[in-house]
């Protein structure tokens, strides 16, 4: 058991707690100003030993950078694109602030202040970026806790800025036909993305062997991404394979590239043979959208953005990104009456909850339909009830003799 003893130094009376570590080594902690503080510490130590949460003071002196090395080594089996992103967040944002700090010295209040700094000022980051940066520190300190260097992770429970709700642009069927006719090449890619919900990377990794034209099915097993200016093909975003359905009209558009490409070759490539990369401002897709939308420009011919940062269409044609063709696909599926679980499977979301979080507002029209159908059911029930409960008028009785009068 831990013991509390008093001693005297130049500053006056102080207390020391002597105890044994779980391994049996005798150690102590000095400098407590009151016996109550020392006793509380002794109780904490004994409880930590009983619950397995004991942390040796010396182990907490290791720096965040040292623990980060262990954390990064554990990411060896993660997707390369994800791992590269995490390493970048660590190197640019986390290491400069926390790298040299001993893990046991970090307080929750300091992390709250840091989050505030990242979220405000001229160099403020988007809420999603702040959450990602914070997530790296959380993961590193989780490793420190697992290694019994700290008892609790001070980064957990810190309030973060909420992600901003982004209004997506959607195209309808007629607008998709317009866009497909406007692009200078790859009409089939536009229609595939808009009527399947594939991510750009999933489309870019497709091979003829992945496409069943007769059944209208595509097997999604891989995804292309860019890592440090290199194009690579790896696992899908969620690490899960899925099969998606495509309309017969889209399957017919894919017939030419599927039948003219080697079974294991990419359906589409850049000039150097690498997978297609997401559109930039000079991409054929972006140029086609801008020709249709004619974005507003100022006197210097610079593109004008609204208060949310979006370009402003002068023709009414939505200024969509390639990724918004995926949102368009979700919109078209929902408006066609597809169940949320079907939409989830088609898009490759981990759960229906995620689908509802992203597209729940598109199901609002279903509420009107539900109300109409329920009303029809009620009217039908009332009509049936009235038909079955027709009142029969009783025959009047002659008051004088109690007999029914003869028929007229």
pLDDT at 403: 52
Residue 189 near residue 204 (C-beta atoms within 8 A): no
- List pLDDT tens digits, range 158-167: 999 987 777 7
**Domain spans in the chain, listed from the N-terminal domain onward:** 3-54, 64-146, 173-345
| Interval 209-242: pLDDT, tens | 999 999 999 999 999 988 878 888 888 877 789 9
Whether the CB-CB separation of 264 and 207 falls below 8 Å is answered with yes
Residue 311 has pLDDT above 80, yes or no: yes
CATH number given to 173-345: 1.10.443.10
Please give the average per-residue pLDDT across 393-399, as a whole number.
52
Lowest mean pLDDT among 137-146, 249-258, 291-300, 303-312: 303-312
Residues 101-111 pLDDT 10s: 999 999 999 99
Decide if 112 contacts 134 (C-beta within 8 A).
no
Kindly indicate the confidence band of residue 258, based on its pLDDT and cuts at 50, 70 and 90.
Answer: very high
End-to-end CA distance of the chain: 112
The mean per-residue pLDDT over the stretch 129-153 comes to 94
Q: What is the DSSP letter of 350?
A: S
CB 244 within 8 A of CB 220: yes
Predicted pLDDT of residue 401: 53
Task: Tell me the CB-side half-sphere exposure of residue 315, using CA atoms within 13 A.
Answer: 11
The pLDDT, as a whole number, for residue 366 is 64
What are the C-alpha distances in Å from 197 to residues 12, 38, 88, 213? 73, 62, 29, 17
- Looking at per-residue pLDDT, the higher value among 268 and 22 belongs to 268
Rounded to 5°, angle at Cα 283 from 277 and 289: 120
DSSP string computed for 114-170:
HHHHHHSSTTPPPHHHHHHHHHHHHHHHHHHHHTTS-SS-TTTT---PPPPPPPPP-
pLDDT of residue 24: 86
* pLDDT one-digit tens code per residue, 314-331: 999 999 999 999 999 999
Residue 380, pLDDT > 70, answer yes
Determine the 3-state secondary structure of 390 from DSSP. coil
CA–CA separation, 310 vs 163, rounded Å?
A: 17
What does the mean pLDDT of the chain come to? 89
pLDDT at 32 over 80: yes
Which residues have C-beta within 8 Å of that of residue 243, sequence separation ≥ 6? 217, 218, 219, 220
Confidence at 397, pLDDT banded by 50, 70, 90: low
Q: Do 139 and 71 contact (CB within 8 A), yes or no?
A: yes
Burial degree of 405 (CB within 10 A; 0-12, 13-18, 19+): exposed
What confidence tier does 365 reach under pLDDT thresholds 50, 70, 90? low
pLDDT digits (tens, 9 = 90+) for 39-93: 999 998 888 888 877 888 788 999 999 999 999 999 888 888 889 999 999 999 9
Show the beta-strand stretches assigned E in 221-281. Answer: 223-227, 230-234, 242-245
The phi, psi pair for 251, rounded to 5°, reads -60, -40
Decide yes or no: CATH 3.30.230 for domain 64-146: no
Helices (H) and strands (E) in the chain, counts: 15, 8
Q: Could you tell me what percentage of the chain is helix, strand and coil, using 3-state DSSP and rounding each to the nearest 5? A: 50, 15, 40
| Residues 349, 322: Cα–Cα separation, whole Å | 18
Distance (Å) of CA 161 to CA 116, 120, 142, 278, 351: 9, 10, 21, 28, 24
In the sheet where 3-9 sits, what is the strand order?
3-9, 12-20, 26-32
**Residues in Cβ contact with 8 at an 8 Å cutoff, skipping those fewer than 6 apart:** 14
Closest CA to 246 of 193, 324, 294: 193
Token reading at 249: 């009209």
Judge whether 329 and 304 are in contact, CB under 8 Å.
no
Closest CA to 1 of 46, 55, 49, 52: 46
Q: Which of 161, 128, 168, 197 is nearest to 361 (CA)?
A: 168
pLDDT at residue number 385: 63
Q: Model confidence at 367, in pLDDT bands (50, 70, 90)?
A: low
Please report the pLDDT score of residue 164 as a whole number: 72
pLDDT band at residue 124 under the 50/70/90 scheme: confident
- Three-class SS state of 230: strand
- 392 pLDDT more than 80: no
Q: What is the CA radius of gyration of the chain?
A: 34
């Amino acid at each position: 058991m831990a013991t509390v003893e008093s001693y005297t130094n130049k500053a006056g009376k102080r207390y020391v707690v002597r105890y044994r570590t779980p391994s049996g080594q005798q150690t102590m902690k000095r400098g407590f100003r009151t016996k109550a503080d020392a006793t509380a510490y002794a109780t904490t130590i004994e409880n930590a030993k009983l619950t397995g949460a004991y942390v040796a003071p010396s182990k907490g002196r290791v720096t965040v950078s040292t623990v980060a090395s262990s954390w990064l080594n554990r990411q060896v089996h993660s997707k390369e694109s994800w791992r590269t992103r995490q390493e970048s967040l660590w190197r640019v944002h986390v290491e400069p602030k926390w790298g040299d700090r001993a893990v046991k010295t970090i307080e929750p209040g300091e992390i709250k202040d840091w989050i505030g700094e990242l979220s405000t000022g001229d160099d403020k980051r988007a809420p999603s970026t702040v959450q990602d940066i914070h997530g790296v520190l959380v993961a590193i300190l989780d490793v420190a806790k697992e290694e019994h260097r700290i008892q609790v992770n001070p980064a957990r429970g810190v309030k973060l800025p909420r992600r901003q709700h982004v209004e997506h642009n959607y195209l309808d069927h007629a607008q998709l036909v317009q866009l497909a006719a406007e692009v200078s090449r790859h009409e089939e890619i536009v229609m595939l993305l808009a009527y399947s919900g594939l991510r750009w990377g999933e489309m870019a990794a497709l091979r003829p062997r992945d496409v069943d034209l007769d059944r209208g099915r595509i097997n999604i097993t891989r995804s292309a991404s860019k890592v440090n200016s290199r194009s690579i093909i790896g696992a899908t975003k969620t690490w899960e394979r899925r099969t998606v359905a495509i309309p017969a009209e889209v399957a017919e558009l894919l017939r030419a590239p599927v039948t003219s490409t080697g079974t294991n070759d990419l359906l589409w490539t850049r000039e150097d043979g690498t997978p297609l990369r997401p559109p930039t401002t000079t991409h054929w897709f972006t140029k086609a959208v801008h020709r249709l939308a004619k974005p507003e420009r100022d006197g210097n011919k610079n593109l004008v953005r609204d208060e949310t940062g979006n370009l402003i269409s002068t023709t009414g044609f939505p200024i969509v990104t390639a990724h918004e063709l995926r949102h368009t696909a979700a919109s078209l599926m929902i408006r066609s009456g597809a169940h949320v679980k079907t939409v989830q499977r088609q898009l490759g979301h981990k759960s229906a909850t995620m689908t509802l979080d992203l597209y729940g507002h598109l199901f609002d029209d279903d509420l009107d339909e539900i109300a109409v159908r329920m009303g029809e059911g009620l009217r039908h029930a009332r009509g049936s009830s009235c038909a079955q409960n027709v009142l029969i008028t009783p025959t009047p009785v002659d008051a004088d003799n109690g007999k029914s009068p003869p028929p007229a």
